[in-house]
Amino acid sequence: METGIQPPAGTSDGQGWCHWHDGPSGTARLVDAHERQSGPPVALYACAPCREQRGLPVRLEAS
Ligand SMILES: [Zn+2]
């Protein structure tokens, strides 16, 4: 059932949310988006522990 815990407002852009453990995180960073065969790539955020466990690369902002 629902836990009643919901992400705070203003985080719809994904920052502050880890898509790997599906919970809020203060260390979430944008990682390389999953490429799909159709549609645009999906931006995913992962927190530091999840990135370490899975070896996720942080997407560096290109300028
Ligand atoms: Zn996480």
Reading the chain (63 residues) residue by residue, the pLDDT tens digits are 666 666 555 444 557 899 899 999 999 998 876 666 777 767 888 999 999 999 988 887 665
What CA–CA distance (Å, rounded) separates 33 from 54? 14
Tell me if 58 sits within 8 A of 30, measured CB to CB.
yes
**What one-letter code names the amino acid at 22?**
D
- Give pTM, 2 decimals: 0.61
Cα(32) to centroid(ligand 1), Å: 15
**What is the CA(39)–ligand 1 centre distance, in A?**
25
Other Cβ atoms closer than 10 A to 6: 8
How far, in Å, from the CA of 28 to the mean position of ligand 1?
7
